[in-house]
A and B are shown apart, each in its own frame.
Chain A
């Protein structure tokens, strides 16, 4: 008995030590670094580890990059922003050189001093970006991040099963009786609240408890009218006709459009968000010159256009878009959304500690 107890104690001590090693190392990510990059560095002596969402890049990306630059590269996949951020913050040096993450996360990590300021002399291809893509709310001037893909959120619907043309968040939040039980909403935090925030005239980046309370009241009213909360299969529900009106990310709506041209996408008149997925270089990287070169490589028109052609997302790269077959914007109307239209939407930014309020609201709406 005593033996067992002392063994437990040892194990507990081990566990605590492990916790300390795992979690607390984060504090050591210092603010040093930022040393000037060497424009003449021998890039072939460097190598890259790139953290990127799975299925979000061409399969032969690493081979093409190495063929062009001689820099060997390893890709590590992540499924969510939370995953890559946890990986980066778990220790002072995660071993990752380039990390893809959404804009508001790049903003938060930038404020923590974890991201390397970009040296634009390595990235002449930044000139390929639209002017709108250089003034993004989470990182104006693209100091620590470069946009990879961008888009908005709107209504994705079956034009043949609805006898009017939806154009307002109100059509989703307070549906006509014939649409009840045939609509879905996103269940991911900022996007569950977005429709109500826009309908009520609030900012999508609101940090007001009072505004969030009004959003909650609206969502509590909306929930009984929903078929489901659905982040990942709503377009399939549209294809089968189970759902006729859904809240959708523009690129995801296209997966439905590809199956049934009666599926349409619209940005509601109250406005929506502008989300951006970005590329960043970590301050802890020992291969910063190679990392900057990689960012530049992605902005090559023939590399970047892959995202439009295969993921059906918009990219902020004018030269890349010019390579895309114009028929695609006809087949997939969200690809015809112009940078000017996109930049009219509200750029999502980090809301800091208030994000716990969003999490809580979303959980409580789903559980309630």
Chain B
């Protein structure tokens, strides 16, 4: 009896909420359609595939399986995962070290030069990135321009091995994604009122202290966004490990690509993609929480 009453109450409540939701629906139309089409359905597909069994000719066969995830825990795949995180983290750290002074300088340039400098940062994006990567190969391979030049100058005896190694991959990723660090940093530094710097200086702060206590804390949201912008695509990139890494190391992106396009193992590829997605969503959540806490003010700000 009691159970039935409870169920009736719950049904009534659900119906009420449902009708309220229904009334709100028209206002959510375009956004929810967008979300459904480009976020929910693809992720739903990936999630479903990840728990299925490999079809012999690609695709999946509808048998539930957890095997893809147990396979992920094998040392070789865990290694790729950790290696990817390491490579992406190193790339991000280097991008921050190089990008911060660059962004700071640009933000403090006269307005006219600022536009020129920003344009220079963006300019490489106008060329297809495969072409730019091949240009790196031409420059740095054992018979490339750099090695030839140094040999002609007599500075080295034999060619230096600059390509097809993990450092080459990091440098390639850094080159590719550095602008994604500079731009958000620039916009957050540029927004800092120069009068704050003046005030701090007038109150007796030396330049380094002004930077450490005024500029740096206020640019943290830009730093966080820049870090996410560089870290996320670095983890998923598969072209650079192949071209500049010589296929001798793999990042998660390569594993996903190979699972779908070479091994015809969609479920395993999907489970990798799912893990990657979850990892990145957590990262984004942390970033947005951190920057919210900073901009909405801690008690002493």
Question: In the complex, are the beta carbons of A3 and B44 less than 8 A apart?
Answer: no
B40 to chain A, nearest CB (A): 4
Question: In the complex, are the beta carbons of B248 and A16 less than 8 A apart?
Answer: no
Interface string of A1-35 (1 = CB under 8 A from B): 01100111001101110111011101000000000
B196 within 8 A of A: no
Separation of A88 and B58 alpha carbons in the complex (Å): 10
A222-274 with Cβ < 8 A to chain B: 223, 226-230, 233, 237, 240-242
Q: How many of chain B's residues touch chain A, expressed as a range?
A: 35 or more
A107 to chain B, nearest CB (A): 12
Tell me which of A20, A228, A353 contacts B246 (CB under 8 A).
A228
A80 within 8 A of B: yes
- What number of A residues sit within 8 Å (CB to CB) of B? 56
Count of chain A to chain B residue pairs whose CB atoms are closer than 8 Å in the complex: 138
B144 within 8 A of A: yes
Question: In the complex, are the beta carbons of B262 and A6 less than 8 A apart?
Answer: no
Question: In the complex, are the beta carbons of B14 and A2 less than 8 A apart?
Answer: yes
A79 to chain B, nearest CB (A): 8
Question: In the complex, are the beta carbons of B265 and A89 less than 8 A apart?
Answer: no
Question: In the complex, are the beta carbons of A89 and B58 less than 8 A apart?
Answer: yes
Separation of A28 and B45 alpha carbons in the complex (Å): 21
Tell me which of A86, A240, A364 contacts B76 (CB under 8 A).
A364
Residues on A with beta carbons closer than 8 Å to the beta carbon of B277: none
A20 to chain B, nearest CB (A): 8
Tell me which of B20, B41, B144, B246 contacts A227 (CB under 8 A).
B246
Residues on B with beta carbons closer than 8 Å to the beta carbon of A188: 262
B43 to chain A, nearest CB (A): 8
Residues on B with beta carbons closer than 8 Å to the beta carbon of A109: 57
B37-96 with Cβ < 8 A to chain A: 40-41, 44-45, 47-49, 54-62, 76-77, 79-80
Question: In the complex, are the beta carbons of B263 and A363 less than 8 A apart?
Answer: yes
- Given A229-B248, A366-B248, are A18 and B57 also a contact pair (CB < 8 Å)? no
Question: In the complex, are the beta carbons of A356 and B21 less than 8 A apart?
Answer: no
Separation of A228 and B142 alpha carbons in the complex (Å): 12
Tell me which of B18, B55, B60, B261 contacts A6 (CB under 8 A).
B18
A181 within 8 A of B: yes
Separation of A352 and B57 alpha carbons in the complex (Å): 10
Tell me which of A14, A86, A355, A366 contacts B249 (CB under 8 A).
A366
- Given A15-B40, A227-B246, are A353 and B56 also a contact pair (CB < 8 Å)? yes
Residue ID in chain B nearest A228 by CB atoms: B246
A339-368 with Cβ < 8 A to chain B: 352-353, 355-356, 359-360, 362-364, 366-368
Question: In the complex, are the beta carbons of A367 and B79 less than 8 A apart?
Answer: yes
- Given A12-B44, A356-B263, A368-B76, are A2 and B57 also a contact pair (CB < 8 Å)? no
Separation of A296 and B296 alpha carbons in the complex (Å): 74
**18 interchain pairs, CB-CB under 8 A:** A14-B41, A20-B62, A23-B61, A26-B59, A89-B57, A108-B57, A109-B57, A188-B262, A189-B262, A227-B164, A230-B247, A242-B143, A359-B258, A359-B263, A359-B265, A363-B263, A366-B247, A367-B79
Known: A15-B40, A23-B61. 5 other contacts (CB 8 A): A7-B36, A15-B44, A24-B61, A88-B57, A364-B76
What residues of chain B have their CB less than 8 Å away from a CB belonging to chain A? 14, 17-18, 20-21, 24, 32, 36, 40-41, 44-45, 47-49, 54-62, 76-77, 79-80, 141-144, 161, 164, 243, 246-250, 254-255, 258, 260-265
What residues of chain A have their CB less than 8 Å away from a CB belonging to chain B? 2-3, 6-8, 11-12, 14-16, 18-20, 22-24, 26, 80, 82-83, 85-86, 88-90, 108-109, 112, 181, 184, 187-189, 223, 226-230, 233, 237, 240-242, 352-353, 355-356, 359-360, 362-364, 366-368
